[in-house]
Structure 1
């Protein structure tokens, strides 16, 4: 139902359901993340009257989960800047608490340890839309502001192209290393995501402005 892309990395499909209507993505090498995109895959929409809040958890942060924003049927993708706010801009040990809570036990982080090895967590919680809107209204105005038009166009074009490309390979025959999509009996090989990324990057290298073109088939 959900996907996420850390800027400069491959799309992540390792979504885990941790509770009723609650999902997480693990984000390795979290200290290197600048921006992250969260989006609906387009195969399963929210039920009427529902949307989802998006949260971020940095290990050892005593404040716990931080609300980033939301996605909905009307706003199926969102871009969040993490560097310098949610993620510390330096690797100093005072950026956050140095205690990690894992399975109820506390583990100390070595003073001066390589912060790039830390895995953070992205959380998605499906809630009634009035509950979601109430939470979003508590965000600072600059955090909850609409992303610039050009950025919105770029992300929409990329996600539309990704969706069109991978779903064109959907099959009812289960391929090796497959990922189920939708609510029917449709499958795609996870290798398709790598093929899309390789082709997409080749086109961007030849024409960086291609992401601004509203073309149905970038690759």
Structure 2
């Protein structure tokens, strides 16, 4: 059964109709769950949560990614609700790991920026004694240990954050 309730307003109850043959044999879909997503106009899909046999209902708090200025320009704004049926292993997202594409992109940019700054602080100018083949243009080199050290430092920080939580 699927139902959608929006607090304070009636949602059309007959918008989704599925014919289910041999209904008397239906119980649950073991091993599957539903991921629930919301799409604001001109934005990316926002992950809301998961419904499964272990958690058959939920209340999702919506955080609009629409600014008040954008909302004022679109007074009759519609959003889309998306439901995807997935294997439980793919659908279950541990708390704290519900990351939007924008958050993931910002994290990746910050992490790679940190790596670049850290690595470049160890860069040295190559000279002719290093036997580099090339056009003779100035070249900077990095010891590979720099990347090992940076990676180990990152893992240590992640472990420390997980211990705090």
TM-score normalized with structure 2 length: 0.47
The structure with the greater share of residues assigned to helix is 2
Which has the greater radius of gyration? 2
Which structure is higher in RCO with an 8 Å CA cutoff and minimum separation 6? 1
The structure with the greater share of residues assigned to strand is 1
TM-score normalized with structure 1 length: 0.36
